[in-house]
């Protein structure tokens, strides 16, 4: 099975570095100049692509692979997919983005499946910072594919000695865990940024997990997926590490500081999408709604106070 990665940002480059330790892989980027000239991505400085990685600026050629990984921000996926005319029949399309599309309220595999009904859509997600993967540190991810036979083949192709893929057929659970943990990470960053302490963060993580489970199970996810790498695992990582862009964005909100506009922070648009989705489905998701409000400029102090003022209830 040949493998291509579309997207030359931090995650796409890290995956190319990891997979390229064991087998040939192609990476395509819309602005490939630096990758071509230095074999490093400006989004992941200091890490060089191994010889087994081909940088191919020709998208059509990259689309010829059997397995195609889509490694770009969630809100770019629809626009990117719509410009590709190829039917990609019979190919395995693996979404590597974490989020919910704000216009359609769909996850990445739905978007891929709608654009390419004759291909199989899957998702690769879980607790992993690009820099850790690229440095060869041990990492475990979830590969979710409804076609388990294809999932088994991809698991073998994409795993390396350090990058260990676990498999599931629960695409909905894997995708929603990865999308929503970014929203809760913003809340946790804001909590720490405001100086509210580790106990308050633990409360937000736990009640945030309850919100993730509420929405995901309503949409058919298996609770065991949510307790796994793509849910609980990624929630723990992202809510506790300053390597996370979502967490750092939340910290900046909590401290009343500005944040670099050019940094990918998936949780902001996902908070808006999930708030809309929860309203549509009549589900209560107060922490996600709070993140949406503070991202839109509401006071962090007042928003936290209104969470604390909610009626007492059973856990
Ligand atoms: N970084 C990480 O540690 C991890 C990230 N992820 C997920 O991976 C996804 C990508 O994030 P990440 O790589 O970190 O983000 P980066 O900000 O590092 O890079 C994003 C990349 O996407 C490219 N891109 C943006 N829009 C388009 C488009 N319309 N067409 C083609 N390429 C486009 C950008 O190109 P250009 O440089 O030209 O702007 C850039 O190379 C996110 O959903 C994230 O949640 C998942 C796990 C870990
Ligand atoms: O998804 C990630 C870790 O699993 C990366 O998190 P950030 O996008 O917050 O940096």
Q: Please list the pLDDT of the chain residue by residue as tens digits (315 residues).
A: 999 999 999 999 999 999 999 999 999 999 999 999 999 999 999 999 999 999 999 999 999 999 999 999 999 999 999 999 999 999 999 999 999 999 999 999 999 999 999 999 999 999 999 999 999 999 999 999 999 999 999 999 999 999 999 999 999 999 999 999 999 999 999 999 999 999 999 999 999 999 999 999 999 999 999 999 999 999 999 999 999 999 999 999 999 999 999 999 999 999 999 999 999 999 999 999 999 999 999 999 999 999 999 999 999
pLDDT at 266 (0 to 100): 98
H/E run at residue 37:
helix 33-38
The separation between the first and the last C-alpha atoms of the chain, rounded to the nearest angstrom, is 47
Active site residues: 181
What is the whole-number distance in angstroms between the Cα of residue 43 and the centre of ligand 1?
A: 9
**Measured from the CB, is residue 244 less than 6 Å from ligand 2?**
yes
pLDDT at 82 (0 to 100): 97
* Full DSSP string of 230-292: IIIIHHHHHHH-TT-HHHHHHHHHHHT----TTS--HHHHHHHHHHHHHHHTT---HHHHHHH
Contact yes or no for 289/275 (Cβ under 8 A):
yes
Q: Which two tokens stand for residue 146?
A: 């409804």
CA dihedral 27, 164, 238, 286 (to 10 degrees): 100
Strands (E) across the chain are located at 3-6, 25-28, 53-55, 67-70, 92-95, 120-125, 139-145, 163-168
Ligand nearest to the CA of 96: 1
Pocket perturbation via mutation, ligand 1, pick of 107, 230, 264 by most ligand atoms within 8 A of CB: 264
pLDDT at 285 (0 to 100): 98
Of all atoms in ligand 1, which is nearest to the CA of residue 13? 13
Contact yes or no for 47/14 (Cβ under 8 A):
yes
Contact yes or no for 106/276 (Cβ under 8 A):
no
Residues 232, 253: Cα–Cα separation, whole Å: 24
Q: Who contacts 251 (Cβ-Cβ below 8 Å, separation ≥6)?
A: 189, 190, 192, 193, 242
DSSP 41: B
Q: What is the pTM of this model?
A: 0.98
What is the whole-number distance in angstroms between the Cα of residue 198 and the centre of ligand 1?
A: 30
pLDDT at 206 (0 to 100): 98
* Angle formed at CA 83 by CA 14 and CA 269, multiple of 5 degrees: 60
Q: How deeply is 135 buried, as exposed, middle or buried, from its count of CB atoms within 10 A (0-12, 13-18, 19+)? A: middle
Q: Who contacts 145 (Cβ-Cβ below 8 Å, separation ≥6)?
A: 92, 120, 122, 123, 151, 154, 167, 169, 171
Q: Who contacts 79 (Cβ-Cβ below 8 Å, separation ≥6)?
A: none
* Protein residue closest via CA to atom 5 of ligand 1: 11
3-state secondary structure 69-86: EECCCHHHHHHHHHCCCC
Residues 22, 91: Cα–Cα separation, whole Å: 21
H/E run at residue 60:
helix 59-62
Of all atoms in ligand 2, which is nearest to the CA of residue 243? 10
Q: Who contacts 13 (Cβ-Cβ below 8 Å, separation ≥6)?
A: 27, 35, 40, 41, 43, 44, 47, 49, 130, 134
**Measured from the CB, is residue 129 less than 6 Å from ligand 2?**
yes
Ligand nearest to the CA of 269: 1
pLDDT at 122 (0 to 100): 98
Phi-psi region of 88 (alpha: psi -120 to 50; beta: other; left: phi over 0): left
Contact yes or no for 143/166 (Cβ under 8 A):
yes
What is the whole-number distance in angstroms between the Cα of residue 73 and the centre of ligand 1?
A: 5
ipTM (interface predicted TM): 0.99
Asked whether residue 181 is marked as a ligand-binding residue, the answer is: yes
Ligand nearest to the CA of 263: 1
Asked whether residue 246 is marked as a ligand-binding residue, the answer is: yes
What is the whole-number distance in angstroms between the Cα of residue 72 and the centre of ligand 1?
A: 4
* Protein residue closest via CA to atom 38 of ligand 1: 31
Of all atoms in ligand 1, which is nearest to the CA of residue 129? 3
């Amino acid at each position: 099975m040949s493998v291509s990665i579309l997207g030359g940002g931090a995650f796409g480059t890290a995956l190319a570095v990891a997979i390229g330790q064991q087998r040939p892989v192609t990476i395509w980027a819309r602005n490939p100049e630096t990758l071509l000239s230095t074999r490093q991505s400006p989004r992941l400085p200091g890490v060089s692509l191994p010889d087994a990685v081909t940088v191919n600026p020709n998208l059509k050629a990259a689309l010829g692979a059997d397995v195609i990984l889509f490694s770009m921000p969630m809100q770019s996926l629809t626009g990117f997919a719509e410009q590709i005319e190829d039917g990609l029949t019979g190919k395995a399309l693996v979404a590597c983005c974490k989020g919910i599309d704000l216009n359609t309220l769909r996850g990445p595999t739905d978007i891929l499946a709608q654009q390419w009904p004759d291909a199989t859509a899957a998702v690769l997600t879980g607790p992993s910072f690009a820099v850790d993967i690229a440095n060869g540190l041990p990492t475990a991810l979830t590969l979710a594919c409804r076609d388990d036979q294809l999932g088994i083949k991809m698991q073998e192709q994409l795993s390396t000695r350090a990058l260990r893929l676990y498999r599931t057929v629960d695409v909905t659970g894997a995708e929603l865990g990865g999308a929503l943990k970014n929203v809760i990470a913003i809340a946790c960053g804001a909590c720490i940024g405001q100086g509210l302490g580790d106990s308050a963060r633990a409360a937000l993580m736990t009640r945030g997990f309850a919100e993730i489970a509420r929405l995901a199970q309503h949409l058919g996810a298996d609770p065991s997926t949510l307790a796994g790498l793509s849910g609980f695992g990624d929630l723990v990582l992202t809510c506790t590490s300053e390597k996370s862009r979502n967490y750092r964005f939340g910290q900046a909100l909590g401290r009343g500081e500005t944040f670099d506009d050019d940094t990918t922070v998936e949780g902001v648009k996902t908070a808006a999408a999930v708030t809309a989705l929860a309203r549509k489905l009549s589900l209560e998701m107060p922490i996600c709604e709070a993140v949406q409000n503070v991202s839109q400029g509401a006071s962090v102090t007042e928003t936290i106070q209104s969470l604390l003022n909610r009626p007492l209830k059973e856990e």
